[in-house]
Amino acid sequence: MGMEQSSTTSVAKRPDAEAKAAIRKMWALGDYHRFATSTVWELGPILVKACGIETGQHVLDVAAGTGNVAIRAAEAGARVVASDLTPENFQAGRREAVLRGVELEWVEADVEALPFEDDTFDVVTSAFGAIFAPNHRATADEMLRVCRPGGTVGMVAFRPEGVAAAFFEVFGKYMPPPPPNASPPLLWGTEDHVRDLFGDRIASLDFTRSSYVERSPDGPDAYIDLFKTTFGPVIAIRQLLESQPDRLAEFDREFARFADECNQGEPGGPAEYPYDYLLIVARKT
User: For the segment 77-90, what is each residue's pLDDT rounded down to a tens digit?
Assistant: 999 999 999 999 99
How far is the C-alpha of 265 from the C-alpha of 216, rounded, in Å? 9
This prediction has a pTM of 0.93
Q: What percent of the chain has pLDDT over 70?
A: 95
Q: Which of 248, 109, 107, 126 is nearest to 185 (CA)?
A: 126
Domain 17-214+274-284 is in which class?
alpha beta
The residue length of the chain stands at 285
Rounded to the nearest 10°, the torsion over CA 48, 51, 56, 61 is -60
- Residues 167-209 have pLDDT tens digits of 999 999 999 888 888 999 999 999 999 999 999 999 999 999 9
Indicate the domain borders of the chain: 17-214+274-284, 216-261
How far is the C-alpha of 191 from the C-alpha of 207, rounded, in Å? 7
Q: In what order do the strands lie in the sheet with 79-84?
A: 105-108, 79-84, 58-61, 121-127, 147-158, 271-284, 202-216
Q: Residue 13: is its pLDDT beyond 70?
A: no
Confidence of residue 14 (pLDDT cuts 50, 70, 90): low
- Residues 140-178 have pLDDT tens digits of 999 999 999 999 999 999 999 999 999 999 999 999 888
How far is the C-alpha of 104 from the C-alpha of 95, rounded, in Å? 12
